[in-house]
Amino acid sequence: MSAPVINGKQVSEDIRGALREEVERLNKLGFTPGLAVVLVGEDAASQVYVRNKEKACHDLGYYSEVHRLSESTSESDLLALVDKLNKQEDIHGILVQLPLPKHINEKAVIDAIAVEKDVDGFHPVNVGNLVIGDDSLLPCTPAGVIELIKRTGIEISGKHAVVIGRSNIVGKPVSLLLQRENATVTMCHSRTANMKELTRQADILVVAIGRANFVDASYVKPGAVIIDVGMNRLDNGKLAGDVDFESVKEVSGPITPVPGGVGPMTITMLMQNTLIAAKRLRDQA
């Protein structure tokens, strides 16, 4: 029998419903959370992501600003814009869409974003707070992974979670968040020896490697929860995850599809972070 499919679209809609209600309540009090998105250059995928973020703001009643800058924008001009947004009172969240053109130092730009407006959760202070377990704005995709697992009613505490991938955006923070939820976490990467021996012990397997359909049924313990973060564009234009969904669902427990699994959660978590940042900034004002 095939495994149950985790419906990220539905979970995401449920969270967005609650956010919409909260923003409506705040709007009535004369307060509107504001998100600024900065896009530099013409990257096609980035343009789609930015449009989706703009749409989410519109749908949920947030104020939004999108700054579309040319590919040739200098680092100092971009830093000047970030500085302006840091000081702007109607903006509570700032997201600079990555990747940036090669002549711009991404780290310098991320470091320049005010910690309390860093709704992507990439600023070193937010990352450090995540590591030591202090309150912080969490990176959106990893936070979405945890939320998806929890809202599907899956217990994380005491489970063995294996994460494949150790990037700063997904693998590392997901591992830390799973640990925070009291899972015992094993991390795998491209140099891991005998990876299948480890993944076959996983009660929860999170895959974030960027290789289409890489993980097949032979990596999976029967009944394991499978969270596929991968988003790979195939030659035929279709989107594929890092997990071979068709073969894995025959042995696994609950499994996320691609599309419709982790993907929809990322922007939803961005909206949640923006609301959290907005309320904190309002309370401090």
The DSSP output letter for 39 is E
Q: How far apart are CA 64 and CA 88, in angstroms?
A: 12
For residue 70, with 0-12 CB atoms within 10 Å meaning exposed, 13-18 middle and 19 or more buried, which class applies?
Answer: exposed
Task: Please confirm, yes or no, whether 279 is among the known catalytic residues.
Answer: no
Cβ-Cβ contacts under 8 Å for 88 (sequence gap 6 or more): 34, 36
Closest residue to ligand NAP, judged by C-beta, is 167
Task: Please confirm, yes or no, whether 117 is among the known catalytic residues.
Answer: no
Task: Please confirm, yes or no, whether 150 is among the known catalytic residues.
Answer: no
State which residue, 138 or 188, has the beta carbon closest to ligand NAP: 188
The single residue of 117, 118, 120, 242 carrying the catalytic annotation is 120
State which residue, 55 or 189, has the beta carbon closest to ligand NAP: 189
Rounded to the nearest whole angstrom, what is the least distance from the CB of residue 237 to ligand NAP in the complex? 15
Known binding residue 200? Answer is: no
Rounded to the nearest whole angstrom, what is the least distance from the CB of residue 91 to ligand NAP in the complex? 23
Rounded to the nearest whole angstrom, what is the least distance from the CB of residue 263 to ligand NAP in the complex? 4
Known binding residue 166? Answer is: yes
State which residue, 25 or 55, has the beta carbon closest to ligand NAP: 55
Token pair of 163, please? 């994460």
Known binding residue 165? Answer is: yes
HEC assignment per residue over 186-254: EEECCCCCCHHHHHCCCCEEEECCCCCCCECHHHCCCCCEEEECCCEECCCCCEECCECHHHHCCCCCC
Q: Which stretches of the chain bind ligand NAP, using CB under 6 A?
A: 141, 164-167, 169-171, 188-192, 208-211, 229-232, 262-263, 266
Q: How far apart are CA 73 and CA 80, in angstroms?
A: 11
State which residue, 165 or 253, has the beta carbon closest to ligand NAP: 165
Q: How far apart are CA 13 and CA 40, in angstroms?
A: 29
Rounded to the nearest whole angstrom, what is the least distance from the CB of residue 83 to ligand NAP in the complex? 27
Binding residues for NADP(+): 165-167
Binding residues: 165-167
Tell me the catalytic residues: 53, 97, 120
